[in-house]
Amino acid sequence: MDVPRRLSAADTYTPSKRTFWQRFWSRSNERAGYFFVLPSFVHLLIFVAIPLVFSLYLSFTDWRQPNPRNALFIGLENYQFLFGDRRFWAAMRNTAYFTALFVPGGMAVSLLVALVMNQKLKGIYIFRTLFFMPVISSWVAVSIVWITLLDPQVGILNYVLQQFGFAPVNWLGDPNTAMIAVVIIAIWKGLGFQMVIWLAGLQAIPQELHEAASIDGASRWQGFWKITLPLLAPTTFFLAVTGVIGSFQVFSPIYVITNGGPRGSTDVVVYHIYLRAFEAYDFGYAAAQAWVLFGVIFIATLIQVWYRRRQGDETAF
């Protein structure tokens, strides 16, 4: 009877220690994959990674000249001055105010529209397209239209208010209403995108759950509050995170419609950084402001992720 021989260390398979380039050229599939990824990698390297590193270096310099070789390294002086800069923190407060109005307001309005657009009605796809059209429209064109609509003399909105006995409102010229007007425009502009995301979440909910709740005597409001809204939690989280990130970077409507006015009431952070960099030509200090803004957005995102995980959602990032 033959007894199987015990394998020795010499008989075990040992993978060959080849270099990266030897493995690269020996596997055609891997080589093809690397070549497909190469254009995106080069694009990210040139237009994302290198500018990020350069802007970080720039934040530690005093650069007020067109030639970057004239930049003077000053260490943390830009950051020290920034934390005492009242104008920057006023712009940060305006940005937080915009975010507090835009994110919940936009999510609520878009969810309401999505609930209506989720019905099986004739021609519903046409209405979905109409609601999405502002998303793909230019911010400049949209802003010009809204400037005309909100004009205190010839604007349609004030004309409608006058028909109901209200006095005309200088929407964009009054510090008390300018930011609210910008928020309304921003909600209208982004309504279609958020509607599509809500629709995807709504259509992923099994209809059987609503049918079972209806059989048990639940009203539509109870079905929405107890079934629809909890199952939309991942969608809500996604829109909240992207909404906060986007609202902290709002720029186009401020630049086109209000120019930060009146009296600085709509001077948000990104517009403030733009003025510092491209009108005052203080690129070093503007870079420091940009990195502080990045830190604020990063911390805000971490807080939202922490809150979602505390609620029991382990899939949150």
pLDDT, tens digit, 9 for 90 and up, residues 210-267 = 888 888 888 888 888 888 899 999 999 999 999 999 999 999 999 999 999 898 999 9
> Cα separations (Å) of 46 from 42, 51, 52?
6, 7, 10
Instruction: Give the C-alpha separation, 165 to 158, whole Å.
Output: 10
Instruction: Give the C-alpha separation, 205 to 216, whole Å.
Output: 18
The dihedral through the CA atoms of 278, 279, 281, 284 has a sign that is negative
Q: Helices 178-203 & 124-136, crossing angle to 10 degrees?
A: 130
The residue whose two tokens read 């930049």 is 71
- In tens, the pLDDT along 267-314 reads 999 999 999 999 888 999 999 999 999 999 999 999 988 888 887 766
Which run of H or of E encompasses 73?
strand 72-73
Q: pTM for the full model?
A: 0.84
The residue whose two tokens read 């964009």 is 172
> Cα separations (Å) of 258 from 97, 183, 253, 274?
16, 12, 7, 14
